[in-house]
Structure 1
Amino acid sequence: MSAPEGTDMKLTVFGATGGIGRQLLAQAAAAGHEVTAVARDPRRLPPGVRAVAADLAAPDAAVLRDAIAGADAVLSAVGPSSRATAGITEPATRAIVGAMADAGVRRIVVVSAAPVGTVPSPGNPHPPKHDPGDGPLMRYVVGPLIKAALRDHYADLARMEDVLRGSGLDWTAVRPPKLTDKPLTGTYRTELDRNVRGGALASRANVAACMLASLERPETVGRAVGVAD
């Protein structure tokens, strides 16, 4: 279920020290939401944020449950910060989903990526060859190159989406294309279950805004949301 429009929410943010995570914290606080930020190193979080120290590479179920308990929703911007942490998204999301079940929290919005809809996974072994939102250049030139270069990363995200689909939770996977550090504009395009036609870039700030907006869009539950500037 989504929160009623305009309602202040209690939110738990994972991946809070990354580029999108920092934007989630700032925008959620500006909107008046009560935020708990989960990070491996809380010292990297801005002052004034309720912080919980947790290492998702070796998750403590009780710590995660306590961080989530009482929240209206969970936002996850978890992703690898280096080659050493490649492949972390699927097991981290599995731990988050388990903690949500224990805490009785149902709503989760996560960051995925635009190519993931065409990446095979154990739960989706035969995805479409092309995303319906992609134009010819993305389908036949840019997309194959990107997927080849980041094959392991996208496979991890595809398995993460498997976890969401099997969770029984009210999930949304936000799928941006190439990320930038341009400032928040609040002007971005979205599509349900497909990429945005001609959408090659998305600012981390606008992706965070889309994630927060999805909490108040019931039609995004159980769906992927393509987003682009």
Structure 2
Amino acid sequence: MRLTIFAATGGIGRHILGQALAAGHNVTAAVRDPGKLPDEARGVAVDLTDPDPAAMRDAVAGADAVLSGLGPRSVSDAGITSRGTRTIVRAMRDADVARLIAVSAAPVGTVPSPGRPNPPARDPGDDVLMGYVLGPVLKAILRKHYADLAEMEDALRESELDWTSVRPPRLTDKPLTGTYRTAPERNLPRGYSVPRADVAHFMLSALHQPETVRRAVGVAS
């Protein structure tokens, strides 16, 4: 497949890139610094904090699907994911590309947003520890991050694209296992963490899973 990967040198993006190349996909990587990319990937210089429409169209033109590992790395980055995703959506619409898979986070299903002001108070997949102890603490500490991701999911739902939002819990740098669990529209019981490599693996697998289209999917070890 012809794939475009945004944030391809980030925590999850670099795993998407490596696994996509290993699988023989034709990859375009949209990053700030294409010099950091392996020779096998076509690089396009894109800065999603100040996007150039022509560069965005060039990045996605001709792609069968787009995968986004975009996410805030610090408090100062809060807002970049929703703004960047809206830019990606516009570029895909202009280039007539339909399939988009983007990284979100497990707590986002219970985070209010302008497009979803009254989400459920507790995710149906959360156990007591996550639903009443860890979850509320995380949402308080990372409030701006999760608000950004919730607005990112608004951008997906408002689009006409064939999107999938992938909601992992705490990310680790453990190696790929391929034995993670997934669940549509809910978190995984006792799903407290997942390797970044497994999230990338699922995102690539979801390209061939039509049941994930226009849905949020929980993924965890």
Same fold by TM (over 0.5)?
yes
| Counterpart selection for 1:90 from 78, 82, 93 | 82
Aligned residue for 1:197? Answer: 189
| Distance in 1, Cα, partners of 2:84 & 2:22 | 27
| Distance in 2, Cα, partners of 1:102 & 1:42 | 23
| Counterpart selection for 2:142 from 132, 135, 150 | 150
Structure 2 counterparts to residues 42-57 of structure 1, below 5 A = 42-57=34-49
| Distance in 2, Cα, partners of 1:144 & 1:86 | 19
Aligned residue for 1:65? Answer: 57
- C-alpha RMSD of the superposition: 0.8
Question: Is it true that 1:40 corresponds to 2:32 in the alignment?
Answer: yes
Runs of 4+ in 1 over 3 A off after TM superposition: none
Aligned residue for 2:211? Answer: 219
- 1:119-156 CA-partner distances (Å, limit 9, x unpaired): 00000000000000000111110000000000000000
Structure 2: 5+ residue stretches without partners: none
Structure 2 counterparts to residues 56-205 of structure 1, below 5 A = 56-205=48-197
Q: Is the 8 A contact 2:183 2:217 kept in 1?
A: yes
The amino acid that maps onto 2:18 is: A
| Distance in 1, Cα, partners of 2:200 & 2:206 | 10
The amino acid that maps onto 2:203 is: M
Match of 1:227, SS? strand
| Range moving further from structure 2, 83-92 or 155-164 | 83-92
Aligned residue for 1:14? Answer: 6
| Distance in 2, Cα, partners of 1:83 & 1:42 | 25
Determine what percentage of the aligned residue pairs are the same residue.
65
Quote the offset at 1:84 in angstroms. Answer: 3.0
Match of 1:215, SS? helix
The amino acid that maps onto 1:52 is: V
